[in-house]
Amino acid sequence: MGQSLAAPAVARATTARSAGSQNPAPRPRRNWAHTRASGFALILVLLALWEASSRLGWVQGQSWPPFSAVLVAAWRGTLGGELSLPLLSTIGRMLAGYAIGCSLGVALGLLLGANRWIRWIVLPVVEMIRPIPIPAIVPPLILFLGIDDALKVFVVALASFFPALINTMAGVLGVDDVLLQTARTFRVGWSRTVLRVVLPATLPAIASGLRVAIGLALVVTVVAEMIAGSAGIGYYIVQMQYALRPDAMYAAVLCLAVTGYVLNRLFLIGEARLMPWMGRG
Amino acid sequence: MLNRRSLLQTGAALAVAGPARGAELERVRVSIIPINDVTPLFVAIERGFFRNEGLLVDTSPSAGGATGIPGLVAGSYDIAYGNVVSTLLAAQQGIELRVIAPGTKIQEARNDHSAIVVRRESGIRSGKDLEGKVVGVNTRNNVIWLYARAWIKATGGNPDRVTYKEIPHPQMEDAIRQKQVDAGYMVVPYVTLATAKPEFEKIAHPYSAVQLGVDVGQYLATASFVQSKPETVAKFVRALRRGIEWYNANLTNPDLLPIISGFTKIEVPLLKTLTLPPAPLVVEPAQMERTTQLMIEHRLLRKPVDVKALVAPMAL
């Protein structure tokens, strides 16, 4: 991952250097192809196809509005609060569940990685529960947790818990034995070894677990909102579907796409700040 | 079961503690489906009928409608609007529910707007024609599915030789157009929009064809809620009846449209194209018993449900 990111950076640096000295002509084209702009260009082409398919009647259907109508609905919904307020409440629930699930996941992951006996006892249970699809357990959970925030925060926490746990545990198991032996040589205690040796060495693995979890958390929050209760962007999407307002429905989907993208970028920025040694190959 | 009960008791205890903190109005949480069937409830809210009874009604829409009864049992709601088939299924499973007020009833054939819709050129006319074909219903094993099957049987078809495909109401029109289904059982407002287009055609109104007078939907509460707070339930039903009376007297009143738009989010110009059916003032247990019979016939129920015990006296 880090290596694949590093490669274009090297190419970019080389291009810039050579262009500065002798051959300025090909620089903009090669640069453009190597930047994120090329990815956005594909998005623009796809959106133009969407617009054309609706305007020119390639796709017949009452639930296929042109993209421009979706943009208008997104703009109105964001300004009027009809869309932005549910989105904010969704993000709030998501972050609450994510924080709870990840904290527990990392804590238990450290424990499982550090102790073989606990791992043997707990891991089968984890492997049994982990593959259960969240939408399948929402209806029975309603009986115990109701249909409001408690239910949603719980399922988001559950969904975030497993990637955090599994990655943390794998990270602990992958810690260089030399580090542990060194700690043992210096007679560092168990808890201090976990905190000062194992945890820092495991941070990259934890970070990748947390990043997987944040993508899942958003999806699970929205799915839970679509199934139960009447709050958040998930409910808004279903409501607009039933109200025959597909433009507003797709506007909400668009907002979710942007939210997911922004969350991922923010995560990467935070990761680069807090763990500057990561992503350097 | 113990868990559910203790949850309910906690919920009831919290509800009792609520008004004591100085609030004048007693809060009642009602789960609804955002369709025209619950308009009288919103009329009663907008016109202050609940407030006059000392109630503050808090509605909680569930677009799919699947969470009403589980939410009641969990204590998230005090009252839920639900369809008759879900209610009877829950009763058979031993969930102690009570029907406390009427919701939707097909009193006259001309007020039955839900319909089985086909492509005009398909040539499908009867249940017999549907054998080996695919029919779209919003949910299998539920009220729409039951009456679609009953209609297929009544018009010479074998309902077991028809495939039922789950399609959400708003997507039914597209599913019929794109031939994912050969026919779709559509409800208001989607049926009105679809059949205004020349390529679609209604071939039947299963509710009125199979069982004129069917009680399609009702308001429910748990038996323990009805027992522990009979006053609250009585106030709710009284105010709701005033809402129903106002609604029935004002079916063509343009003041109704913003109320409906408020909870369905359907825009007013679209609502203007719809014809609103009158709402019932009472529940008819005999009609619910006929539904029970149909459910046994189509293997949704194993044995009859005691409808008389299910319907609370105030709903009659």
* Rounded-to-integer distance, Cα A244 and Cα A230, Å: 18
* Residue A24 and residue A109 share a domain: no
Over range A44-66, report the average pLDDT.
Answer: 87
Q: How far is CA B201 from CA A184, B28, B89, B183, B193, in A?
A: 81, 42, 33, 10, 11
* pLDDT(B1) > 70: no
pLDDT at B289: 96
Find, among A108, A223, A208, the residue nearest to A161 by Cα.
A108
CA separation, residue A96 to residues A216, A230, B123 (Å): 14, 18, 55
Task: Judge if the upstream peptide bond of residue B189 is cis by omega within 30 degrees of 0.
Answer: yes
Number of neighbours of residue B286 by Cβ within 10 angstroms: 10
Nearest to B150 by CA among B217, B214, B93, B102: B214
Q: What's the pLDDT tens digit per position in A189-212?
A: 888 888 888 888 999 999 999 999
Q: Is residue A120 part of a domain?
A: yes
On whether residue A174 sits in a domain, the answer given is: yes
Mark residue B158 as left, alpha or beta (left: phi above 0; alpha: psi -120 to 50; beta: remaining): beta
B134 vs chain A: nearest CA distance in angstroms?
20
Do B4 and A244 lie within an 8 Å CB cutoff? no
Which of A58, A62, A63, A137 to substitute to test the interface with B, most B CBs within 10 Å? A62
Residue B29 pairs in a beta bridge with B58
As a whole number, mean pLDDT of residues B127-147 equals 94
pTM recorded for the entire structure: 0.79
A111 with A57, same domain? no
Chain A contact probe: residue of B76, B173, B267 with most A CBs at under 10 A:
B76
State the DSSP code for B315.
G
DSSP letter, residue B305? -
Which position has the token pair 């709050």?
A231
Chain A's closest residue to B171, CA to CA, is A63
Alpha-carbon torsion B293, B295, B300, B304, what sign? negative
Q: Looking at beta carbons, which residues of chain B come within 8 Å of A146?
A: 71, 74-76
pLDDT of residue B66: 63
User: Of A31, A55, A77, which residue sits at a domain end?
Assistant: A77
CA atoms of B264 and B276, how far apart (whole Å) = 14
Which among B35, B66, B76 has CB closest to A148?
A: B76
Note whether A230 and A181 are same-domain residues: yes
- pLDDT mean across residues, chain A: 84
**Distance separating alpha carbons of residues B274 and A244, to the nearest angstrom:** 14
Report residue A172's pLDDT band, with 50, 70 and 90 as the boundaries: very high
**Domain residue limits at A47:** 2-77
The residue of chain B with its CA nearest to that of A149 is B76
Partners of B4 on chain A (C-beta within 8 Å) are 143
The sheet that has B183-186: what strands, in order across it? B163-166, B134-137, B183-186, B115-119, B200-204
CATH class assigned to B109-210: alpha beta
Taking the C-alpha atoms of residue B179 and residue B189, their distance in angstroms, rounded to an integer, is 21
Domain B2-106+213-315 belongs in CATH node 3.40.50.300? no
Smallest Cα–Cα separation from B61: which of B28, B102, B32?
B32
The SS3 assignment for A280 reads coil
| Chain A residues within 8 angstroms (CB to CB) of chain B | 60-63, 139, 142-148, 226-230, 235, 238-245
Q: Is the pLDDT of residue B126 over 70?
A: yes
Q: What would the pLDDT profile of A85-135 be if each residue is shown by its tens digit? A: 999 999 999 999 999 999 999 999 999 988 899 999 999 999 999 999 888
- pLDDT classification of B13: cutoffs 50, 70, 90: very low
Is residue A10 one of the residues assigned to a domain? Answer: yes
Pick the last residue of a domain from A77, A108, A137. Answer: A77
pLDDT confidence tier of residue A2, bands split at 50, 70 and 90:
very low
Claim to verify: residue A65 and residue A196 sit in the same structural domain: no
Whole-angstrom CA distances from A148 to A94, A213, A226, B132 are 13, 22, 12, 43
CA distance B168 to chain A (A): 9
pLDDT recorded at residue A234:
93
pLDDT of residue A233: 94
Distance in Å from the first CA to the final CA of chain B: 30
Number of separate domains in chain A:
2
- pLDDT of A62 above 80: no
Confidence band (pLDDT; 50, 70, 90) for A243? Answer: confident
Instruction: Report the DSSP beta bridge partners of residue B55.
Output: B26
Specify the DSSP element, H or E, that contains A131. none
CB A105 within 8 A of CB A162: yes
User: Average model confidence (pLDDT) for chain B?
Assistant: 89
B241 φ/ψ angles, rounded to the nearest 5 degrees:
-60, -40
pLDDT digits (tens, 9 = 90+) for B155-200: 999 999 999 999 988 899 999 999 999 999 999 889 998 999 999 9
* One domain for residues A151 and A198: yes
Q: What confidence score (pLDDT) does residue B286 get? A: 95
A186-211 burial, b at 16+ Cβ within 10 Å, e below that, comes to eebeeeebbeebbbebbbbbbbbbbb
| pLDDT exceeds cutoff 70 at B250 | yes
Burial class (CB in 10 A: 0-12, 13-18, 19+), A14: exposed
Tokens 């509605």 belong to residue? B59
Which residues from B are below 8 Å from A228, CB to CB? 62, 67, 71
Residue A59 has pLDDT above 90, yes or no: no
How many CA atoms within 13 Å lie on the side-chain side of B144? 21
B268 part of contact set with chain A, CB < 8 Å: no
Q: Could A230 and B71 be called an inter-chain contact, meaning their C-beta atoms sit closer than 8 Å?
A: no
CATH code of the domain containing A207: 1.10.3720.10
Q: Do A119 and A65 share a structural domain?
A: no
Indicate whether A279 belongs to any domain. Answer: no
Amino acid B132: pLDDT: 96
Burial of A124 per CB tally in 10 Å (0-12, 13-18, 19+): exposed
- Give φ, ψ of B158 to 5 degrees: -100, 110
Q: What are the sequence ranges of the domains in chain B? A: 2-106+213-315, 109-210
Phi, psi torsion values for A110, nearest 5 degrees = -60, -45
Q: String of b and e for A51-77 (b: at least 16 CB within 10 Å)? A: beebeeeeeeebbebbbebbbebbeeb
Q: Which amino acid does the sequence have at A148?
A: D
Give the rounded distance of the alpha carbon of B146 from its chain centre.
14
Residue that finishes a domain, picked among A28, A54, A77: A77
- Tell me the C-alpha distance between A269 and A275, whole Å: 10
My answer on whether A188 and A56 are in the same domain is no
Pull the structure tokens for residue A238. 């279903």
- Least-confidence region, from A70-79, A242-251, B21-30, B73-82: B21-30
Report how far residue A176's alpha carbon sits from residue A273's, in angstroms, rounded to the nearest whole number: 24
Q: Do domains B2-106+213-315 and B109-210 have the same CATH topology?
A: yes
Joined together, the tokens standing for residue B235 give 């106030």
A239/A162 same-domain check: yes
Identify the pLDDT of residue A195. Answer: 84
Closest-CA distance, B291 to chain A, in angstroms, reads: 26
Beta bridge partners of B134: B163
Determine the distance from the C-alpha atom of residue A227 to the mean position of all C-alpha atoms in its chain, rounded to a whole number.
21
* Block residue for tokens 């009986």: A143
